[in-house]
Amino acid sequence: MNTLTKKAVVMIIVVSLIGIPAAYALEMLTVPLVKSFYDSAIKWKFEPGLWEKLRQLEANGTERLMIIVVGVSEGASYDFKKWITALLVSRHNATILHIGEVLSFVNIQVMNTEVKKIAAYSFVDGLGDGEAEGSICISSGYNKNTIEAITYPFKLTLNLNKTEYKIGELVTIELQLTNIGNSTVKLWFRNRSSPTWLRFKVYNASNDLVFVSSPAAWPAGTEVSLDPGSFIGQTHEWDQKVGDPRYPDTVRQLKAGTYKIVGFLDNLYAPQLSTLETPKIEISVGQESLMEMRWLCLHVI
């Protein structure tokens, strides 16, 4: 057994012990990432539109970042998906947008020149275009206070100051719409009141809608231009009151419990963007008092 073979065996044993399948470890050793793969061997993994987009970029000699949805082997564990993302970061300089906890996919941002190399991995079942018209690419990152949704060329980010609140405590909700495309885009809003552009909704634990932010609006419309990388933002300070402020008798304090907050883009003239809203961030309201009572009961008993 030569030195290279011994190293390969040792590596396979080590990665098997930490939960990485030996076949994938062997693949890392035997398939150089710089190898030119035959298109016919990987084309079936691509959405047709994505394949044609890559071919056009190659023909033009263009290199740019792309948002890609990577489908991985069905039934892959979350730990294995995290290992895959670590590989994509280290070998392909990818940025991880989201790791599917239940569904078998990861969302990444990567140079177009790396996409076919990624497709060559046996654990990749399919590749989708996260930039396609109307497609939504979710990003949650590693901060439970922040979540994003992407409908190219827009990225909508929802950020909360925290996720556990006392009853009546102000909830700080930050929303930001960013142009992640390569050219300037113009948005036509129905009114000039920027708080109506980026709004939020609140659902209870049963997913019933309990509140929608609805600040006063100016009647006249307005145009907003966003250069690549630029954004508009809005911060809401919510006092946990639900109901319609126009009718004081309907306004009430939120009860203790679990709730979910969603950010969304609104007041656009159709058909610029049909809809764009973030996934839900779960918050806890007034639960600390219940925990304290349980703690006291345990100690009194």
Q: Among 129, 163, 181, identify where a domain stops.
A: 129
Alpha-carbon 99 to chain mean position: 8
**Pair of tokens at residue 91:** 């070998």
Q: Are residues 14 and 37 in the same domain?
A: no
CATH code, domain carrying 227: 2.60.40.2360
Domain match, 59 and 161 both:
no
Same domain, 146 and 109: no
Is 18's pLDDT higher than 60? no
User: How far apart (Å, rounded) are the C-alpha atoms in residues 148 and 157?
Assistant: 4
Q: Tell me what percent of the residues of the chain surpass a pLDDT of 90.
A: 32
Higher pLDDT, residue 284 or 149 = 284
Residue 301 lies in a domain: no
Is the predicted pLDDT of residue 287 greater than 80, yes or no? no
For residue 296, tell me if it sits in a domain: no
What is the number of domains present in the chain?
A: 3
Choose the weakest-confidence range: 16-25, 49-58, 156-165: 16-25
Q: What residues have CB less than 8 Å from 235, skipping those under 6 apart?
A: 172, 173, 174, 175
Angle CA 171–172–178, to nearest 5: 140
Together in a domain, 160 and 220: yes
Chain-centroid distance of CA 188 in Å reads 25
pLDDT at 291 over 50: no
What digits encode the pLDDT tens for the residues 108-161? Answer: 889 999 999 999 998 898 898 887 655 555 555 445 788 888 777 888 899 999
The answer to whether residues 149 and 86 belong to one domain is no
pLDDT at 244: 79
pLDDT at residue 216 in the model: 56
Is residue 15 scored above 50 in pLDDT?
A: no
Same domain, 51 and 175: no
Query: Are 187 and 45 found together in one domain?
Result: no
244 and 203 in one domain? yes
| Structural domain includes residue 294 | no
Q: Show the domain range for 6.
A: 1-30
Range among 55-69, 71-85, 260-274 rated most confident:
55-69
> In this structure, what token pair is assigned to residue 293?
């009572």
Domain boundary among 101, 129, 157: 129
**Final residue of a domain: which of 129, 150, 185?**
129
Mean pLDDT of 66-73: 86
